[in-house]
Amino acid sequence: MDFQLSEEQQILVAEAREFALQEIAPYAARWDEDEHIPRGQIQKYADAGYFGMTVPSRYGGRGLSALDAVLVIEEVARHCGISGRLIVDHNFGAAITILHFGTEEQRRRILPTICTGETLMSIGMTEPEAGSALTDLTTSAREEGGEFVINGRKHWITGAGEREYTLLYARFNGAPGPKGIGAILIHKDMPGFRYAGRIPSLGVRGVQEGILEFEEMRVPKENLVVPPGSAFGRLMSAYNGQRVGASAVALGIAQGAFDHAKDYADERRQFGKRITDFQSIQFKLADMAIDLDAARYLIYRAACNADRAITDRYESSVAKVFASEMAVRVTSEAIQLCGAQGYSRNLPLERMFRDARCFTLAGGTAEMQRIGIAGSILGRALPQHS
Ligand SMILES: Cc1cc2nc3c(=O)[nH]c(=O)nc-3n(C[C@H](O)[C@H](O)[C@H](O)COP(=O)(O)OP(=O)(O)OC[C@H]3O[C@@H](n4cnc5c(N)ncnc54)[C@H](O)[C@@H]3O)c2cc1C
């Protein structure tokens, strides 16, 4: 076991740190206020080589490891959670599902365009009546004349209506249970695709969470990425990496909040001395640092043990639960350390607090992760349906 980053990784981190300072930090508050990050800005992440880092070079990527991607994501998220999430979405999730489970034709057609930023990807799983109970989803795909005809509704889809492709999870030919679920690539210009509006949210506002509706949307058969059958478990395994990526965003946000709070507290004077001269403030800083380190090494463990960006389910869930709850604690304590200034919109802490809050929900709630962890401990599936 080696806790040192390689020389290449140290360079990657240094470059990402500089990039984030120059290209992201000055604008992050504005994107939050505008509730929009411009496409030109997103393009910069692709141009910097931060999309498709985990994609092999034969498909246009950099062939880097999951840990390499995590290191970049952490640096970016220290200044801007939504930028971190954009990089996650184009290194894990849909990209990795296509890489591992898609056809060679899909890999050649889609992956290079993800790496260049030409194609942005969403994941469409959640439905109004199927959130944690994902296997209850009802969006249907019916085979007809060499095509699939899709009907249904998804909500809370990150990037809905803006991103070109969505990897859509649907129930094929009416087959019940997990075995009926497969994944198919849909494009926002396909007839029958409808963007049905944005869901206003507490944080991560620069990227929209939206509703998608499909009415008799015809999708060519060659867009089927994961056929229904026995694939649901494998399909979800590709999503473990997304959870580790999201955990790295939570970590980065918390680290950013900690950095601000530490600097502020070390300058702020009350009762004639620096507030960091009071032991209770020192203990707060120490506890925050312990929290950050614990999350960091759980995330790094899951990333290091990944098989081409597919991470272990147990390790991913442990990292996600700890990092997401840690980020809420640390960003909240950062506000506390800065007093009323921390609560004001003059500092980025309130934005970081709002942004951090999403990670115990998005990507599978902390409760559902705990159920998965308990299943691993007990060595059996823990069905939730009565
Ligand atoms: C910012 C954000 C971005 C998102 N992006 C996407 C996206 O891009 N694509 C996508 O498909 N989805 C996305 N989601 C949706 C997300 O995956 C769901 O919100 C999540 O899976 C929970 O579903 P739900 O909101 O319907 O909550 P519910 O399932 O209704 O759960 C409500 C509460 O009950 C708890 N609960 C439910 N069942 C159990 C149980 N058996 N035992 C114990 N507790 C239980 C939950 O943990 C939660 O606390 C996003 C969500 C957010 C907030």
Annotated domain spans of the chain: 7-116, 121-226, 232-378
Look-up: residue for tokens 């970016």?
76
Tell me how far apart the alpha carbons of residues 371 and 281 are, in angstroms, rounded to a whole number: 36
Task: Answer whether 157 contacts ligand 1 (Cβ < 6 A).
Answer: yes
Task: Answer whether 168 contacts ligand 1 (Cβ < 6 A).
Answer: no
Distance 320 CA to ligand 1 centre (A): 14
Q: Is the C-alpha dihedral spanning 277, 283, 288, 294 positive or negative?
A: positive
Question: Which segments of the chain have a pLDDT < 70?
Answer: none
Distance 96 CA to ligand 1 centre (A): 22
CATH superfamily, domain at 232-378 = Butyryl-CoA Dehydrogenase, subunit A, domain 3 (1.20.140.10)
Distance 197 CA to ligand 1 centre (A): 19
At 308 the pLDDT is 81
Which of 66, 80, 70, 61 minimizes the C-alpha distance to 23? 80
Task: Answer whether 91 contacts ligand 1 (Cβ < 6 A).
Answer: no
Would you give the distance in Å from CA 49 to the centre of its chain?
18
Return the CATH fold of 121-226: Butyryl-CoA Dehydrogenase, subunit A; domain 2 (2.40.110)
pTM over the 0.95 mark: yes
Give the closest residue (by CA) to ligand 1 atom 4. 362
Task: Answer whether 123 contacts ligand 1 (Cβ < 6 A).
Answer: yes
For helices 232-267 and 66-77, give the axis angle rounded to 10 degrees: 40
Task: Answer whether 64 contacts ligand 1 (Cβ < 6 A).
Answer: no
Task: Identify the burial level of 3 via C-beta atoms within 10 angstroms of its C-beta, where 0-12 means exposed, 13-18 middle and 19 or more buried.
Answer: exposed
CATH superfamily, domain at 7-116 = Acyl-CoA dehydrogenase/oxidase, N-terminal domain (1.10.540.10)
**Atom number in ligand 1 closest to CA 89:** 8
| Other CB atoms within 10 Å distance of the CB of residue 197 | 14
**Which residues 6+ apart lie within 8 Å of 281 measured at CB?**
265, 275, 337
Tell me how far apart the alpha carbons of residues 359 and 253 are, in angstroms, rounded to a whole number: 11
User: SS3 for 153?
Assistant: strand
**Atom number in ligand 1 closest to CA 203:** 1
At 2 the pLDDT is 85
Task: Answer whether 60 contacts ligand 1 (Cβ < 6 A).
Answer: no
- Phi and psi at 269, nearest 5°, equal -115, 135
Contact 221, 142 (CB under 8 A): no
Distance 361 CA to ligand 1 centre (A): 5
**Atom number in ligand 1 closest to CA 154:** 11
Which of 161, 219, 153 minimizes the C-alpha distance to 191? 219
**Atom number in ligand 1 closest to CA 204:** 1
Tell me how far apart the alpha carbons of residues 334 and 259 are, in angstroms, rounded to a whole number: 9
Residues present in the chain in total: 386
